[in-house]
């Protein structure tokens, strides 16, 4: 009887510990090694939800759940060294990314990231820097980006084009020739347009110290092809992020980096774990086999 009571007390103690200290229990669980799950978010709004808009409360809960489950957040610089030099990353490595450069990153996401000590990178549509309040959703200003970089070195800002985050005739500007007054632009005009926009975008971010090295790009609308990749590389891009699901490995083509959409209001805090597991089972097309 005494032995039973002792085991019962021990079991109750274990259950209490697991309930109140889940991060300690799960911290040693290795779900993947030498890989990085890259998450993508867009906009945070506490009044309105949308396909790529979540509340700050849900965002914080997602990050907290991942940390308790044993995920370890890395910086953009760590990720680039992992892809380019084969540098080690911690087990269960996660890179948090945002697209578009909305002001909600500054007002909603950044305070949470800074408080929790979680690094992140925002891919900025740099045309919004010239008139932050003139965009459909307010954009970050140069001063706000500088302030975030000053307060938390783990926050990075990279490129999402200057004026190519748009469509004409239902086709993304980055990957399609533009027709003006019935005349289609020539190969040379198309090439110059993409190079000019990309260099302008990178320069704007370099001028405000958006990163130690502004050399990364998120494809607008996830649209790209071989010509796009070649032109971006010519303009100075070394790493490019897609919207295709998958987990990055040391074999991933640095110009075709997969990401996992976490910024949906339908993705509950513990659901991200399942998304990462699913993405981990699918090998990303275009992996570098060399």
Give the tens place of pLDDT for each residue, 47-80. Answer: 988 899 999 999 999 999 999 999 999 999 999 9
DSSP structural state of residue 128: G
User: The pTM is what?
Assistant: 0.87
As a whole number of angstroms, the distance between CA 148 and CA 54 comes to 21
Residue 29 binned pLDDT confidence (cut-offs 50, 70, 90): confident
As a whole number of angstroms, the distance between CA 46 and CA 88 comes to 37
CATH says 32-280 is which class?
alpha beta
Tokens representing 272?
């991200």
As a whole number of angstroms, the distance between CA 290 and CA 282 comes to 19
Nearest to 197 by CA among 149, 251, 159: 159
As a whole number of angstroms, the distance between CA 189 and CA 173 comes to 13
Q: Is the pLDDT of residue 175 over 70?
A: yes
49, 52, 56, 61 alpha-carbon torsion, rounded to 10°: 110
Q: Is the pLDDT of residue 8 over 60?
A: no
Q: Is the pLDDT of residue 15 over 80?
A: no
Tokens representing 21?
């200290």
pLDDT of residue 28: 65
Q: Where are the domains of the chain?
A: 1-30, 32-280
pLDDT per residue over 115-128, tens digit each?
999 999 999 999 99
Q: Is the pLDDT of residue 166 over 50?
A: yes
Question: 239 has which bridge partners?
Answer: 216
The mean pLDDT value for 27-48 works out to 92
pLDDT of residue 70: 96
Torsions phi, psi for 72 (to 5 deg): -120, 125
Residue 285 binned pLDDT confidence (cut-offs 50, 70, 90): very low
Q: Answer for the pair 279, 258: CB distance below 8 angstroms, yes or no.
A: yes
Give the relative orientation of helices 56-68 and 271-280 as an angle to the nearest 10 degrees: 60
pLDDT of residue 283: 52
pLDDT per residue over 184-214, tens digit each?
999 999 999 999 999 999 999 999 999 999 9
CA distances, 257 to each of 171, 222, 241 (Å):
22, 11, 5
pLDDT of residue 161: 98
Q: Is 74 exposed, middle or buried (0-12, 13-18, 19+ CB in 10 A)?
A: buried
């Amino acid at each position: 009887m005494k032995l039973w009571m002792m085991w019962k007390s021990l079991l109750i103690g274990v259950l209490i510990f697991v309930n109140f200290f889940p991060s300690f229990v799960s911290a040693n669980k290795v779900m993947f090694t030498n890989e990085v799950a890259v998450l993508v978010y867009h906009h945070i709004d506490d009044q309105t939800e949308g396909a790529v808009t979540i509340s700050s409360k849900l965002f914080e809960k997602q990050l907290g759940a991942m940390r308790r489950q044993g995920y370890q957040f890395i910086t953009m610089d760590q990720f680039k060294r992992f892809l380019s030099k084969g540098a080690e990353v911690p087990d269960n490595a996660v890179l948090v990314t945002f697209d578009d450069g909305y002001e909600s990153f500054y007002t909603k996401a950044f305070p949470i990231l800074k408080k929790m000590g979680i690094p992140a990178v925002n891919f900025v549509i740099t045309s919004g820097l010239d008139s932050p309040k003139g965009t459909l959703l307010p954009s970050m200003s140069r001063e706000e980006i500088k302030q975030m970089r000053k307060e938390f070195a783990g926050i990075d800002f990279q490129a999402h084009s200057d004026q190519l985050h748009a469509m004409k005739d239902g086709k993304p500007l980055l990957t399609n020739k533009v027709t003006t007054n019935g005349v289609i632009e020539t190969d040379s005009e198309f090439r110059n347009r993409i190079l000019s926009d990309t260099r302008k975008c990178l320069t704007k971010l370099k001028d405000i110290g958006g990163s130690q090295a502004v050399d990364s790009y998120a494809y607008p609308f996830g649209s790209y092809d071989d010509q796009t990749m070649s032109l971006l590389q010519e303009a100075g891009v070394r790493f490019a992020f897609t919207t295709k699901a998958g987990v990055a490995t040391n074999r991933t083509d640095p110009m075709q980096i997969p990401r996992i959409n976490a910024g949906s209001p339908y993705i509950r805090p513990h659901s991200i774990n399942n998304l990462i597991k699913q993405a981990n089972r699918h090998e990303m097309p275009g992996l570098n086999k060399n």
